[in-house]
Amino acid sequence: MPWYLTMGAALGALCVAVLSREPLTGVLPAVVVLVLVLADYHLWERRGRPWHDWTLILLLLPAIAAAVWIAVGGLAMDVDRTDAARLAYEVGPGVALVGLLCTLISYHGRHHPNEPGQPL
């Protein structure tokens, strides 16, 4: 599942970086998401796919902040777009990235079912 979530987030961030044409509210935060999500996956694989790893979780928090900025940055910076363009290049992809990244964090934060102290 992390492979699909990672590739979905990477593809979404790449699309925003290419299509938004806004350096501060599209390209830069999309590159941040792209780099962090790929680094997170690489680290997860290199560490042997751990069940609960705070480093992996914390690595994605700035990516979530960048995805939120994709969604609201155009409004905050008063980027000149039509409503349809704002929805297609900012709000839609930003919200989608937040959802994918939060799901990826929840996957990284899961505990092993055989871990002591877990309910049966």
User: Contact, 10 vs 18, CB < 8 A?
Assistant: no
Residue closest to 99 by CA, chosen among 68, 74, 59: 68
pLDDT value at residue 115: 67
> pLDDT for 27-48, tens place per residue?
999 999 999 999 999 999 999 8
Instruction: Check whether 114 has a pLDDT greater than 80.
Output: no
**What pTM was computed for the model?**
0.89
In the chain, what are the domain boundaries?
Answer: 2-108
